Amino acid sequence: MHSSPIPRTGPFTFSTRFFGIGSYLPNILRHELGHILGLRHDNAATCEPENPSVELSLENPLSIMNFYRDPSRIRACSIQDSDVTAVRKLYSLNQSTLKGFDVITVDPDTLDERN
Ligand SMILES: [Zn+2]
């Protein structure tokens, strides 16, 4: 039987792959919360053309929503005014389309979408 120093219970697991990243782990959490709120990567419009998007704020290299592989760049990021602006704009949309994209509302309980 495989023994692990970290008990695995319930649906959660903890990988040793993440040891040593404690100094920027809070920023990863902040970044992922931004995705949960509906934000894409800060530079998605230029760096992820395969999934077109609408920019709700100006690109900001310090935005928590940037995607960096370099830990020092992740540590340097924080929640910026541009991130707050993007969330406010996203949640204040009251039209059915924006720049050719459908604006939808997703029910968090059922994940049903509606315009
Ligand atoms: Zn991301």
Gap from CA of 31 to ligand 1 centroid (Å)? 6
State in Å: Cα 1 to ligand 1 middle: 36
**Ligand 1 center–CA 65 separation, angstroms:** 7
CA distance 96 to 80: 28
pLDDT digits (tens, 9 = 90+) for 24-83: 888 999 999 999 999 999 988 888 889 888 899 989 999 999 998 888 888 899 999 999
Of 38, 47, 92, nearest in space to 69 by CA: 47
More confident call, 106 vs 98 = 98
> Could you give the angle at the alpha carbon of 25 between the alpha carbons of 45 and 90, nearest 5°?
35
CA of 33 to the centre of ligand 1 (A): 9
Distance 3 CA to ligand 1 centre (A): 33
Q: For position 113, what pLDDT does the model report?
A: 84
Q: What is the pLDDT of residue 92?
A: 93
Spacing, Cα 41 to ligand 1 middle (Å): 6
Please classify residue 34 by burial: count the beta carbons closer than 10 Å to its beta carbon, then call 0-12 exposed, 13-18 middle and 19+ buried.
buried
Q: Burial level of 66, CB count in 10 A (0-12/13-18/19+)?
A: buried
Predicted local confidence at residue 1, as pLDDT: 45
